[in-house]
Amino acid sequence: MSYAVLTPKVLATLTAAKTAGKLKQVYNHPVSKFDGFPVAVFFPAAFNSAYFTSSEDVTGFRYKIFVISETKVIGMSKAWNDVLTGAVDEIRKQFRAGWNQGVSSEGHRIWWNLENGSWYQSDGQDGIMVVAELDLIINLVENV
């Protein structure tokens, strides 16, 4: 299993949050200009490996997800308390619904966890943006 195989699953789940009306765009790579807000930007970040038993290895593929909204048009309070939290709640809902990815075609068990990172504000292309950082960990049990 690899990031190339897992990324379409992540994209499909984030696109479901977009379809629910909580995101305007989903990008699977860092970008410098956004086409509407709120957006989700995600990309592979790291992986780790730990042995369960002498014959099973658990690999955790980590993705960074940044949910971003602007404040210029809607104001700081609405950006934080309505738009950003609504988008994060919908993303969380979509990942929770599909947490058990079952068994892949190679016979490996796959599941994922979504974890909260930092929430902050930053200067953006048209003023202040608010950002929620999330970590998605896709766990895979492999026989060694």
Domains and CATH numbers, the chain: 3-143 (3.30.2000.30)
Residues in the chain: 144
Per-residue pLDDT, averaged over 10-25, amounts to 90
3-state percent breakdown (helix, strand, coil) of the chain, nearest 5: 25, 45, 25
User: Dihedral (C-alpha) 48, 52, 10, 106: value to the nearest 10 degrees?
Assistant: 120
pTM of the full structure: 0.87
pLDDT of 106 over the 70 cut: no
pLDDT of 64 over the 60 cut: yes
**pLDDT at position 48:** 85
**pLDDT at position 65:** 96
Residue 121: which pLDDT band, with cuts at 50, 70 and 90? very high
HSE-CB of 135 using CA atoms within 13 angstroms: 12
Q: What 3 state SS string does 89-142 have?
A: HHHHHHHHHCCEEEECCCCCEEEEEEEEEEEEEEEECCEEEEEEEEEEEEEEEE
Task: State CA 92 to chain mean position distance.
Answer: 9
Per-residue pLDDT, averaged over 123-127, amounts to 79
Q: CA–CA separation, 59 vs 64, rounded Å?
A: 16
Q: Which two tokens stand for residue 103?
A: 């068994």
